[in-house]
Chain A
């Protein structure tokens, strides 16, 4: 039985949280201001409204509903957060933290209203520990800022599937999928330690931050970022006994509000290469990938499908159609490219031009593409490339000969090879008549694996929804893909024809699991539209969960409801933990 996504229970919960009584709100504000700088506590509606929506809308199943918090606090320290939690507990009001606000599915939208903790002032990179290979940051530090600090030192963080504007802390705690997840694990596996505030105001420090906690935090000065300190060689992850670090995982602040995180950093490698292959049949592709993973080749990879969805999601329909025409029809492609060559014949003598062209021809007519990331010493990268090529052409694994698009990948992801020339892709695409294709987009693409913006771009085209599984067995990838497509067709989702849906499968070395992401573009103008999309989401989530594939991303209210149905034991345990910590109401259910 698939649950109703707009159940009476959910509606009732939302109805239970109207705007806070003015006098009570004023009283709470005064209490908060006893400790927190009064400038940073407010109940002014103009300061509250900005928290009422995220990437996927208002978080509610009602199309026009935008719930603002009752009070906003901008803390400067863990003690400000602890005080806020104590006051919230005293008055029994909900608390919800937000870091960068680059959220989906209403995770940081205050459906139950209450106090919003905005971490904008807690934006410090506190420590970089080159000895223990960790760094410690506050909640408002984004991947781009951290990477800007690490890059000159020769390090990087594990790259998220989220855009670079995502916060390191919340991405890790909300089980953020990483491009190298198959090699290094997903978000929580990056965490070496944390400092968080329980709902009762108690400060907890775990793992690497339990010993030598960072209490001496530099003063916050707008627009200035102090240099991080050198770390004391943090290596501790777990002591004996249960590890409390897991308590705030995925709870979106309900089980505890995290104020510092210590995460792993990695040295930049000597050499890198991204290989690209195109397949007609997804089963062939997944079999080859499973073999690559089993042999621990490379650091990870991505499967994109269906092929036409990639240009559709990131470019205008007209441009996408032109591209697909080229990808699907040899004669058209040859004619168009010959025409462009006639205009500028010297191009054929340029090596990058020939490489891009051979890459385009390699993936032409294929339904699915895959990129495989190779990193390491030059020797290792070359060896891994040869091993990959052998697997991709192994008749025991695949009954089709895959197209090789590596020449295109080299110049598309230009940030990874020194002699890459992305302008040649631009020249070719422009000469093929693409109108909306910009060189600056391409230049951004080159750093995609460091600073991914593709999901943002997808969302931006016409708003969208995203389902993501942090882990699933390889064997279920093909099956999950079909469930998603079936649900879309069943609901008469118009985007099927237009290619406004896609799946990305992160996979790679390490045989344990792959990560699946499903995207669909929608822009609900009416309640009917929104109901249709929610039905697809609930249907897919429910079916996959029944088969053991867990999707944490879904619309806030519906997600809690489905989890409660599917994971009653986990919910009972969570309830007991919350009660033990005297937790106030921190979520819709």
Chain B
């Protein structure tokens, strides 16, 4: 377990390297289209204290690592550390300034791990999903068979398929239309693929909230399943799983992955010539999931999903004020949706308002977690404004609609 060994001295040095330049609080000027949508840090803009921005958390990390104050004397500590959606907006700006060892999200995740070890974190609902993962191998506490939504059983646990479709817990248990649309697309392109009934949680919710005890088991078990089926490429419709497998698993394993990883957005962009889309009259916006964009630096997936949307005739994709590296998080990341639902919904509502301001009727995103967050935000925004609810749709769902002409 090389990745999760916490080197306190290195962590302290990283925290002390932050020079409080404050560039991490707002979108970079070159990316800022207007003053109205300049904020990028969800927790900072919501809670207002310096402590909720990356430089503040870095100083708190320093104070924790230097034992400057008794941890139990702070009532706000847990809220401050766990209100970060780990969206990486601060990190992007940090990297623009200089290549850095700071990586505020990384520091926050490590501090979460330290607090969890000391019994101070995580938040109660986050603890609940860790217990569920331990017991049921998914954070939702679902005891039903994995991927039971699959109708064509011949695709289940097939050996030597080219693609292993890693469905993920949120898609598999809460957003099955996204999974069904993905499978339909793979069928239409006559791909040799498989879905596993043995797949378990990728570890993302645990890593993001610092609950690392069970992570190695999850990684090893999933790896065995993928290797047993001898697949060359693991395909994801979930941005969170894609990020965790591509970036975290090699660190945990201490070696490169024995397979390639690919997100459906990339797959769709590669296969665009094979699709015959029917016209759809719709004004849409595209929301960049943090796990597909900023977290994947330097290989962010920004253009591929846009290429797919733009290829559909009749679709008018509007450009939001905060896009790509400057995108505003949907508010659901980093365990925040489970831990602080009100705050999570507020941020999602802000994002939906931005979509509304551009006149879009739907927002498309290739991440099931963003879909859940933005759906809640859309409901709240519709309630606030009395207008029709903005539709929130997965990228694969949109593609299937365009292919089927619905």
Taking the nearest CB of chain A, how far is it from the CB of B79, in angstroms? 9
A222→B48 CA distance, assembly (Å): 8
User: Does B7 belong to the interface (CB within 8 Å)?
Assistant: no
Main secondary structure, interface of A, reads mixed
Cross-chain pair count, CB within 8 angstroms: 161
Interface string of A211-247 (1 = CB under 8 A from B): 0000000000011110000000000000000000000
Are B49 and A144 interface neighbours, CB within 8 A? no
Q: Which one, A51, A144, A222, A444, contacts B50 given CB within 8 A? A: A51
Q: Which of B26-34, B168-176, B179-187 contacts A (4 or more CB under 8 A)?
A: B26-34
Bound together, the chains give a CA A120 to CA B45 distance in angstroms of 9
Q: A101 contacts the other chain (Cβ, under 8 Å)?
A: yes
Interface string of B175-206 (1 = CB under 8 A from A): 00000000000000000000000000000000
Q: Does B259 sit within 8 A of A, measured CB to CB?
A: no
Shortest Cβ distance from residue B358 to the other chain A in the assembled complex, whole angstroms: 16
A145 adjacent to chain B (CB < 8 Å): yes
Those of A99-138 within 8 Å (CB) of chain B: 100-103, 118, 120-121, 125
Chain A CB within 10 Å, residue with most, of B46, B62, B63: B63
Interface-facing stretch out of B96-104, B369-377, B393-401 = B96-104
Q: How far is the CA of A41 from the CA of B7 in the complex (A)?
A: 35
Contacts of A165 in B (CB 8 A): 21-23, 25-26
* Bound Cα distance A145, B33 (Å): 10
With beta carbons under 8 angstroms apart, the residue of A45, A74, A453, A461 that contacts B63 is A45
Interface pick from B69-77, B219-227, B228-236, B305-313: B69-77
Residues of A within 8 A of B56 (CB): 49-50
Residue of A nearest to B346 (CB): A222
Write out, one digit per residue, whether chain B residues 57-84 have a CB within 8 A of any chain A CB (1) or not (0). Answer: 1011011000011000111110010000
Residues in B neighbouring A102, C-beta threshold 8 A: 20-22
Partner pick for A225 among B38, B59, B100, CB 8 A cutoff? B38
Cβ 8 A contact of B48, one of A40, A144, A441: A40
Residue of B25, B48, B60 touching A49 (CB-CB under 8 A):
B60
Q: Would you call A47 and B49 a contact (CB within 8 A)?
A: yes
Q: Does B55 contact A (CB under 8 A)?
A: yes
The segment from A86-94, A147-155, A258-266 that touches chain B is A147-155
Taken residue by residue from 47 to 65, chain A's Cβ proximity to chain B (1 for < 8 Å, 0 otherwise) reads as 1011111110000000000
- Interface range for A: 35 or more
**B50 touching A120 by the CB < 8 A rule?**
yes
A47 to chain B: closest CB distance in Å? Answer: 5
How far in angstroms is the closest Cβ of chain A from B352? 12
- CA distance in complex: A120, B52 (Å): 11
For residue B385, CB closer than 8 A to chain A, the reply is no
Which of A44, A50, A460 gathers the greatest number of chain B CB atoms within 10 Å? Answer: A50
Interface residues on chain B, number (Cβ under 8 Å): 49
> Do B21 and A55 touch (CB < 8 A)?
yes
For the complex, what is the distance from the CA of A225 to the CA of B45, rounded to whole Å? 11
B97 touches A101 (CB 8 A): no
CA of A441 to CA of B28, assembled, Å: 12
CB atoms of B59 and A444 under 8 A apart? no
Closest partner residue, chain B, to A125 (CB atom): B35
Contact bitstring A451-465, B, C-beta under 8 A = 1, else 0? 101001101110100
> Is A146 interfacial (CB-CB < 8 Å)?
yes
Neighbouring B residues of A51 by C-beta, 8 Å: 50
Is there contact, CB below 8 Å, between A456 and B34?
A: no
Contacts of A147 in B (CB 8 A): 29
Nearest A residue to B93 by beta-carbon distance?
A: A165
With A45-B69, A118-B50 known to touch, is A148 a contact of B35 (CB < 8 Å)? yes
Which residues in B have their C-beta under 8 angstroms from that of A45? 63, 68-69, 73-74
> Within the assembled complex, what's the spacing in Å between the Cα atoms of A40 and B51?
12
* B25, closest chain A residue (CB): A165
Given A49-B63, A52-B59, A456-B97, decide whether A74 and B48 contact each other with a Cβ distance below 8 A: yes
A49-B46 CB under 8 A given contacts A44-B74, A145-B35, A148-B29: no
Scoring B residues 1 to 41 as 1 if CB is less than 8 Å from chain A, else 0, what string do you get? Answer: 00000000000000001011111011011101111101100
14 A/B residue pairs, CB under 8 Å, sorted by A: A44-B75, A45-B68, A49-B56, A49-B59, A53-B62, A54-B20, A103-B20, A144-B38, A165-B22, A444-B96, A451-B30, A453-B97, A456-B19, A456-B21
7 nearest CB pairs, A to B: A50-B56, A165-B22, A149-B35, A102-B22, A451-B29, A456-B21, A50-B50
Q: Which B residues fall within an 8 A CB radius of A?
A: 17, 19-23, 25-26, 28-30, 32-36, 38-39, 44-46, 48-51, 53, 55-57, 59-60, 62-63, 68-69, 73-77, 80, 96-100, 346-347, 350
